[in-house]
Structure 1
Amino acid sequence: MSLRLVKRLARDWFLLGMLGAVGLALLFPDFGRSGGAMHADVVTNVGIFAVFFLHGLGMPMAQLRAGALQWRLHVLVQSFTFGVFPALWLVLNLVFGAWVPADVSLGFLFLCAVPSTISSSVAMTGVARGNVAGAIFDASLSSLLGIFLTPLIVGLLARTTGQSLSLGDAILKLSLLLLLPLALGQLARPLLGAFFARYRKYTNGVDRLFILVLVYASFCDSVASGIFSRHGGAIVALILGGAVLILATVLTLSTLTARRLRFSTEDEIAAVFCGSKKTLASGVPMARLLFGAHPGLGLIVLPLMFYHQLQLLVCSVLAERYAARPPAP
């Protein structure tokens, strides 16, 4: 088991890239900070627009329509993504909030409010021989709903931590830099869809490179403000422990709920993978738009970064276990 995990980590250049982006931010924070020589505000806005244009270009409408009628699955997945996760944060914040720094608490709230991820949810559902059409619909629907529900959830619940968010400005920013390029990507599918599918391996690489730039810029502001030097390694252990607790809780609850509702094994797989995952590809751009030059932005995105890697490792093991079940008669 441990050997397989080590091999996965060795193949995952994106994880190494994130570590490299954080390392560069620690060494050269002034270059990427707001107002620095990189012009982070302009670069990140261009990157966010490009990332969501590529998402729209790769969103398959025919497969979305194929999975649209499975309403019980969709209700369960979206309820977990935008209901159970925020409720879990409320409980954990009530129990542990007094010992957690405000920016870290806001980061866990943001983690619990972002939509599900598309690519890995669908890929792992396919590996596990689950309901792929339903997974495609739910993961894509989650991304669209997140443009409006993520700032709404963060804005409403952040007040419990003494912080606030301008909902009107947040939704306007997300609409212009997320929804607009998503729609343009869909409109461009008849012209560019076949090209995108043929070179998807390379376009996915471009997508991830933009995310690494956003991670670097996000951490530069936090490093320059001295947040990490004040907290030290204890904050990393705290965030890792919180991410493990949230992932274990949601995986358990989603599995038990799907079985309680007598879902087929295929629908259970889609519900567990789509309902427990959170997107880093959309989450980091959303954080940049929602929190701007917040000096704690590096801490805010750190729970999502940890959770992203944990969900990939744990869910890939789960997918292999599901795939090993005997074929249905």
Structure 2
Amino acid sequence: MNFKIDKFILAIATTVFLAYLFPQLGSKSSPLNLDLIASLGISLIFFFYGLKLSPEKIKTGLKNWKLHLLVQASTFILFPLIVLLFLPLVHSEHNKNIWLAFFFLASLPSTVSSSVVMVSIAKGNIPAAIFNASISGLIGIAITPLWMGIFLNSSNSNFDLREIYIKLITEVLLPVILGLLLHRYLGKLATRYNNYLSTFDKSVILLIIYKSFATSFDEKVFNALEVSNLVVISMSVIILFYLAYFITGIISDKLGFNLEDKITAQFCGTKKSLVHGTIFSKILFQNATTLGIVLLPIMLFHGFQIFIISILANKLSNPVK
């Protein structure tokens, strides 16, 4: 079986390398206002996201409520609970920052495009995948800040949940609502140019990643991160994925799901959105110099989930007889 390296993963690696070589362009003293550009880009991403959302499909998708409940519970409850189990093992401030980065990963919504594509390849329940992947991003606007607020309130005196929600409403929710309102007029146009919009989305994400890592490199944040830390982070990402994948599968069997619904539950319930991760990190952590470390687990998870889910999807699409 042949696997191609995802071009976006290569682009992320290149962006991080450029941030290492030229951190001054993304530093606080940079003449370029990358924060403003990124904020405008974020609003446009979610406006186009709203344009592509079909209210009719969302209404239709509400019927299979057990499946939807499992996917969202896995995304917003199971993942955070798994990471919370390891909090008692965290003692130093450095390790707490790494744990917080994992908890941020755990509290994020599911990704949209790759979830639907992989479910389609694996011959799962495609309408349910579209519904869950779409609704997850909207739920995340409310849930992710609540989860993060539990720990950021105690560790960051500048954390203001009201301010966070105001930013999320203005930069994320209002553009989505505007897009939804214009769906009937511009929805087909957005679908037709979906590839271009996807390229735009990825460009904004790369810009935020560059800014985050450039700031961290400029402030020498990664000097405290040893090779052993990177190994532990990478292994933890893999363990976290498999724990969620197998637990979701066990619950699917207990609920009596057919194979199509089980595939959808496991594929959608174990995905985490890099798009939302980069955007939410910019809002939740604002100008924190540790933003590069915050994004490290979600970037590794993004690469791993695409790799392993593509393998699983291909196996399920061609079962051994």
Measured at CA, do residues 35 and 52 of structure 1 come closer, stay the same or move farther in structure 2, by a change above 3 Å? farther
RMSD in angstroms over aligned alpha carbons? 1.9
Query: Is 2:121 the counterpart of 1:127?
Result: yes
Aligned partner of 2:22: which letter?
F
1: CA distance, partners of 2:302 / 2:318: 24
CA shift for structure 1 position 92 = 2.0
Q: Which residue of 1 aligns with 2:263?
A: 269
CA contact (8 A) 2:90 2:99 kept: no
Measured at CA, do residues 157 and 84 of structure 1 come closer, stay the same or move farther in structure 2, by a change above 3 Å? farther
Aligned partner of 2:238: which letter?
V
Normalization by structure 2: what TM-score? 0.94
CA shift for structure 1 position 253 = 0.7
Query: Is 2:63 the counterpart of 1:69?
Result: yes
Q: Alignment partner of 1:80: what SS?
A: helix
Query: Is 2:248 the counterpart of 1:254?
Result: yes
CA shift for structure 1 position 285 = 0.6
Q: Which residue of 2 aligns with 1:13?
A: 7
The range that moved more, 195-204 or 89-98, is 89-98
2:82 to 62, 81, 88: 88
Query: Percent identity of the aligned residues?
Result: 33
Number of aligned residue pairs: give it.
Answer: 320
Measured at CA, do residues 89 and 61 of structure 1 come closer, stay the same or move farther in structure 2, by a change above 3 Å? same
The range that moved more, 62-71 or 105-114, is 62-71
CA contact (8 A) 2:153 2:160 kept: no
Q: Which residue of 2 aligns with 1:283?
A: 277
Q: Which residue of 2 aligns with 1:156?
A: 150
Q: Which residue of 2 aligns with 1:215?
A: 209
1: CA distance, partners of 2:192 / 2:21: 38
2: CA distance, partners of 1:119 / 1:284: 16
Q: Alignment partner of 1:212: what SS?
A: helix
Q: Which residue of 2 aligns with 1:29?
A: 23
Q: Which residue of 1 aligns with 2:196?
A: 202
Q: Which residue of 2 aligns with 1:306?
A: 300
CA shift for structure 1 position 312 = 0.6
Q: Which residue of 2 aligns with 1:168?
A: 162
The range that moved more, 29-38 or 275-284, is 29-38
CA shift for structure 1 position 233 = 3.0
Q: Alignment partner of 1:117: what SS?
A: coil
Structure 2 spans left out of the alignment, 5+ residues: none
2: CA distance, partners of 1:275 / 1:144: 15
1: CA distance, partners of 2:63 / 2:91: 40
Measured at CA, do residues 37 and 170 of structure 1 come closer, stay the same or move farther in structure 2, by a change above 3 Å? same
Measured at CA, do residues 45 and 135 of structure 1 come closer, stay the same or move farther in structure 2, by a change above 3 Å? same
CA contact (8 A) 2:101 2:297 kept: yes
Query: Is 2:162 the counterpart of 1:137?
Result: no
CA shift for structure 1 position 8 = 2.0
CA contact (8 A) 1:34 1:40 kept: no
